[in-house]
Structure 1
Amino acid sequence: MCGSATHTVSNILKNSRQGRLKPSNTNQTTFIKEKTTMPKITVLPHAVLCPEGAVIENAPEGQTVLDVLLDHDIEVDHACEKSCACTTCHVIIRKGFDSMEEPTELEEDLLDQAWGLEADSRLSCQAVVADEDLVVEIPKYTINHAREDH
């Protein structure tokens, strides 16, 4: 079946090149919006995790902010292993907050326990990169009782 479909497509292309097929409406133009760039994540300086700050170009849409940061060697705490059961991956989205999906009720309940909670706070394991650039601040402190070096 695939072979016959390929043959049909090649016949259509051949007939089109020979002038046998004409567009039905020559005044109709279709524009397809093509996205040329992926979102960028700017990470503000953090004394321990990212002293110089960072700019992550081409952050994949649909991936969590935490996964993007970890993929770029920014070792944000995530004591619950990204299961939305703690607040150690708390971040503040300084720009691009509205481009992301709304937090779930569970995430909002957990955020109430986060150190340094702000209106634009998110758990980075739940915040999914959308189509806008983000500016992310990692709070100075975290509530991670499992970590011994703080």
Structure 2
Amino acid sequence: MPKITILPHEELCPQGITFDAEPGVVLAKAMLAAGVKIPHACEFNCACATCHVIIREGYDSLSEPSDNELDHLDTAWGACAESRLSCQAKLGDEDVTVEIPRYNRNLVGERE
């Protein structure tokens, strides 16, 4: 079972957190279950890029990004080679370290 480490984020996870998650689970859903209020304006449909994260460790253990995900990542603030949409990245067996960018495309700031 992989350990997921969320680096500190001023609003969404000020202290940071580490938790276990099941392989095959979508990263955004695992984060929400652990109490990390990751924005997800499109309800996990790969349509908005508000759940953009940067994978600092364990990128290769995640599922491969689809062309649709890569297209949406092009619109994400601060996207880089290690960026993923957390609503599309399925966890593998290895530990993952995640950074939530300071800004995202969700101008309204709605969160679950």
TM-score range, shorter chain: over 0.9
The percent identity for this pair of structures is 54
How many positions carry a matched residue from both structures?
A: 110
Deviations 1:49-75 (A, max 9, x none): 000000012x11110110000001100
How many Å apart are 1:118 and its aligned residue? 1.0
Q: Distance in 2 between matches of 1:101 and 1:136?
A: 15
AA matched with 1:140: R
Select the structure with the greater relative contact order (CA < 8 A; seq sep ≥ 6): 2
Q: Of the candidates 48, 58, 77, which is equivalent to residue 11 of structure 2?
A: 48
Q: Distance in 1 between matches of 2:107 and 2:56?
A: 27
How many Å apart are 1:147 and its aligned residue? 2.6
Contact 2:63/2:91 (8 A) holds in 1: no
Q: Of the candidates 1, 4, 22, which is equivalent to residue 60 of structure 1?
A: 22
Contact 1:79/1:146 (8 A) holds in 2: no
Unaligned runs of 5+ in 2: none
Q: Of the candidates 66, 70, 94, which is equivalent to residue 104 of structure 1?
A: 66
In the alignment, structure 1 residue 78 sits paired with structure 2 residue 40: yes
RMSD: 1.0
Contact 1:39/1:132 (8 A) holds in 2: yes
Aligned equivalent of 1:88: 50
Contact 1:62/1:128 (8 A) holds in 2: yes
Report 1:1-150 matches (<5 A). Answer: 38-57=1-20, 59-147=21-109
Q: Does the residue aligned with 2:42 lie in a helix, a strand or coil? A: coil
Structure number with larger C-alpha Rg: 1
Q: Provide runs of 4+ in structure 1 moved above 3 Å.
A: none
AA matched with 1:41: I
Q: Distance in 1 between matches of 2:80 and 2:5?
A: 18
Unaligned runs of 5+ in 1: 1-37
AA matched with 2:41: A
Q: Which has the higher strand share?
A: 2
